[in-house]
């Protein structure tokens, strides 16, 4: 079921709608520094790993810039599509990393062919979950919300399993949970682009 989500354009369009809602909320709130109005200042992305028929809207990350002279601070709302600066879509990074837990060589080859990522890229994702993410201050603060504790060695699969619903609902819930990390350069998600 999880592998089917990787090719489901409907699912990825749903994530785009969630991001548009988060952007509308952020825009309505105005500048976080001075409270002034903000103007749209999208920036281009070239996301990898998703279905090929997502359209041009998927190639932009919503962002805003303060309209007040002297401020001009950028406001980038949370995202369910993008995990920081990673070039692969967030859902792809989560699902492939989760499916790699105990994967055979044959399964690895099939997953790599599905998304076009090298074995080394996938290994970096797994290492990122076990080190950068697991050792981040944000995760250290959030992991206490889960009982029993989430096993670091089984991330993100163990974390994905903590959310309820079918595979799609659990993935959306996990992406919502991770969304606060997608807005700041200081987050552990900003480290490593692949």
Q: What is the pLDDT of residues 48-93, one digit of tens each?
A: 888 888 888 889 999 999 999 999 899 999 999 998 777 899 999 9
User: Which residue numbers in the chain have pLDDT < 70?
Assistant: 1-2, 102-104, 184-194
Which range marks the domain in which residue 40 is found? Answer: 2-185
9-29 vs 167-178: helix crossing angle, rounded to 10:
30
Domains of the chain: total: 1
Question: For 106, what's the count of Cα atoms within 13 Å in the CB-facing half-sphere?
Answer: 0
* pTM as predicted: 0.88
Residue of 91, 136, 96, 102 lying closest to 119 (CA atoms): 96
In-domain check, residue 194: no
In-domain check, residue 130: yes
Q: How far apart are CA 179 and CA 172, in angstroms?
A: 10
Q: Say what the pLDDT of residue 176 is.
A: 96
Q: Say what the pLDDT of residue 102 is.
A: 65
In-domain check, residue 192: no
Between the alpha carbon of residue 85 and those of residues 27, 33, 79, 181, the distances in Å are 22, 23, 11, 11
In-domain check, residue 190: no
In-domain check, residue 193: no
Cα torsion 112, 131, 160, 186: sign: negative
In-domain check, residue 90: yes
Q: Say what the pLDDT of residue 189 is.
A: 47
In-domain check, residue 140: yes
In-domain check, residue 98: yes
């Amino acid at each position: 079921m999880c592998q089917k989500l990787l090719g489901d354009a409907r699912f990825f369009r749903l994530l785009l709608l969630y991001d548009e809602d988060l952007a509308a909320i952020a825009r309505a709130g105005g500048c976080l520094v001075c409270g002034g109005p903000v103007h749209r200042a999208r920036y281009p992305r070239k996301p990898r790993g998703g279905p090929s028929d997502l359209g041009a809207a998927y190639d932009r990350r919503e962002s805003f810039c303060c309209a007040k002279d002297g401020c001009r601070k950028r406001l980038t709302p949370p995202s369910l599509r993008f995990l920081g600066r990673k070039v692969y879509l967030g859902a792809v990074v989560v699902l492939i990393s989760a499916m790699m837990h105990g994967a055979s060589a044959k399964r690895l080859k099939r997953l790599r062919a599905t998304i076009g990522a090298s074995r080394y890229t996938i290994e970096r994702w797994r290492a990122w979950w076990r080190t950068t993410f697991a050792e981040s201050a944000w995760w250290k603060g959030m992991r206490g919300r889960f009982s029993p504790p989430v096993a670091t060695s089984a991330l993100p699969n163990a974390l994905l399993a903590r959310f309820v619903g079918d595979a799609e609902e659990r993935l959306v819930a996990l992406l919502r949970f991770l969304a606060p990390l997608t807005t700041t350069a200081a987050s552990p998600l900003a480290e490593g682009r692949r």
